[in-house]
Structure 1
Amino acid sequence: MGYEPRFRLLPWKRAYRTVAEGEAAMLFTFTKNPEREKDFFFTDALAEIEVIFFKRKADKITWETFDELKNYRIGYVDGYNYGSSFMEAIREKKFSRPDMLGASEMADYQQFLKLSGKRIDLAVCVKSEGLHLIRNNAPAFDDLDYIDKPVGPARGFFCGFSRKWPDAKSLRDRFDKEYGKFKAEGKKAAIFDKYGISASAAPC
């Protein structure tokens, strides 16, 4: 697009607020919902994410409904959008022992430390992000694995342009056009292949 971007890594809530208020042009990557669409023009989906529960290998935990997890210590991160099913379960207090962690750039890593240290029983996390953490923090997280059942349908991961940024909608449209070319030329697939990520999984 002819720009030299400047990136800032911020805790989630501050990053959201910074872009929503028009102090930066774009926020990435995150899921879309009606509330967020009031603040952003969303791009085409960059990838799909699947949110699951991670657990300790020694714990034989399975589930079909959230009611079956009522008495487990459930770890999640404040401000994250895990999908409507899980968020509704939190609002309805279906988990008697929820454990909310403040949002930060290290929040998922901290969740996994708590899980490995037996301070929580389950950690909610994007599947590809959790597997990345386990792979890249061996042997610390070798005792962790996951329940292969999503907490809700797979959802898209997007970039969002601030509605308060000048010509934001035009920028979004140009981004989508260039991103379409990027995919058509095989560049996205090459990046996913390089990092061993399936086409239906979001990069961490």
Structure 2
Amino acid sequence: MNARRLCISLCLLLCLSTQAAERQELVISVGDWPPYLSADFKHNGVIAHLISDLFADEGYRVRFQFLPWPRAYAATAAGRFAASAVWMHKNEREADFLYSAPILDEQFVFFHLKSFPFNWRSLYDLTGLTLGGGLGYSYGAKFDAFLDTGKVRMERVPSDMQNFEKLLKNRVALYPQEINVGYAALHNHFTPADIAKITHHPKPLLNNFSYLLFPRQLEGSQALRERFNRRLQQYRDSGRYQQYFRDLQLGKYQQAAGQNTAPEADSVAP
């Protein structure tokens, strides 16, 4: 009897292993954007975890390739990856890609020192201030147009860490960044004493969506996008989607101690 049970168990394990081996692998290009995407975070970050689970339920296994953002875009547009995550919408990108349904709801805010009594209602309240910013980074069409007026000055540097260092040294008055990305950078690179000096204004600068991009170069992109979108909607309807972001707020994706690494020079998601 025991031998029979053992035989059945071995057959089941073999069957499961065969099914796993038969799953098609999707290689997805991504940039470093903690806590959403990071090789140092659990599950490669909350967005990577969400994408992996969505595709797993569709019968795929996912492998993420971390690249500088420009390389991720170009290589995926050329059809060398099944998709790329995650990107804001720009009309010119539609020539190269099919957009998924929105996968990430972002909120950009102004970070500032608690010692700086900052308040704003319109962009003109920022007149005369010096802001930190990311290289090649767009903060939405309205704010980009305001920057072009010259009423504020933005000093752009490669990383969040450098921008927060400048903020702490009073070299810039404000730093606009996505709220979870900003606080992840603070907690990963600064002391509790420095973090305690910084806050953010509650009024959002920008509410934005980001997407998974599927290259038009690949014949199967349309069908893959449709499957992804259907499963994403199921996750939203069931409440499973929201659970990933509750887990993010609870710190369940934080990197292990001792794995604190500086971001790449072009680690800002466009």
Greater per-residue helix proportion: 2
- What TM-score, normalized to structure 1? 0.82
1:34 maps to 2:91: yes
- Is this contact kept in 2: 1:85–1:151, CA < 8 A? no
Task: Give the aligned residue type for 2:155.
Answer: D
2:176 corresponds to which of 124, 127, 130: 124
Task: Give the aligned residue type for 1:149.
Answer: K
Q: Which has the larger radius of gyration?
A: 2
2:133 aligns with: 76
Distance change (3 Å), C-alpha of 1:184 and 1:123: same
2:12 aligns with: none
Tell me how far 1:138 sits from its aligned partner. 4.1
Distance change (3 Å), C-alpha of 1:148 and 1:196: same
Tell me how far 1:7 sits from its aligned partner. 0.8
CA distance in 2, matches of 1:25, 1:11: 17
Task: Give the aligned residue type for 1:148.
Answer: P
1:102-121 deviation per Cα after TM superposition (whole angstroms, max 9, x unaligned): 3xxxx223322222232322
Q: Give the secondary structure class of the aligned counterpart of 1:52.
A: strand
Identity over aligned pairs, percent: 27
Distance change (3 Å), C-alpha of 1:81 and 1:166: farther
Q: Give the secondary structure class of the aligned counterpart of 1:120.
A: coil
- Is this contact kept in 1: 2:133–2:157, CA < 8 A? yes
2:160 aligns with: 108
1:66-97 deviation per Cα after TM superposition (whole angstroms, max 9, x unaligned): 333232221111233321111112233332x2
Task: Give the aligned residue type for 2:71.
Answer: R
Distance change (3 Å), C-alpha of 1:175 and 1:66: same
Distance change (3 Å), C-alpha of 1:18 and 1:109: farther
Q: Give the secondary structure class of the aligned counterpart of 1:64.
A: coil
Task: Give the aligned residue type for 1:101.
Answer: V
- Is this contact kept in 2: 1:162–1:168, CA < 8 A? yes
Task: Give the aligned residue type for 2:162.
Answer: Q
1:189 corresponds to which of 234, 242, 251: 242
Task: Give the aligned residue type for 1:99.
Answer: E
1:135-176 deviation per Cα after TM superposition (whole angstroms, max 9, x unaligned): 454413221111222224x22121111222332122111111
2:149 corresponds to which of 92, 99, 102: 92
- 1:9-88 residue pairs with structure 2 within 5 A? 9-88=66-145
- Is this contact kept in 2: 1:54–1:144, CA < 8 A? yes
Greater shift, 181-190 or 156-165, is seen at 181-190
Question: Which structure 1 segments of 5+ residues have no match?
Answer: 198-203
- 1:125-204 residue pairs with structure 2 within 5 A? 125-136=177-188, 137-139=190-192, 140-152=194-206, 154-196=207-249
CA distance in 2, matches of 1:39, 1:92: 31
1:201 aligns with: none
Distance change (3 Å), C-alpha of 1:17 and 1:93: farther
Number of equivalent positions: 192
CA distance in 2, matches of 1:181, 1:22: 28
Asked which structure has the greater RCO (Cα within 8 Å, sep 6+), the reply is 1
- Is this contact kept in 2: 1:134–1:142, CA < 8 A? no
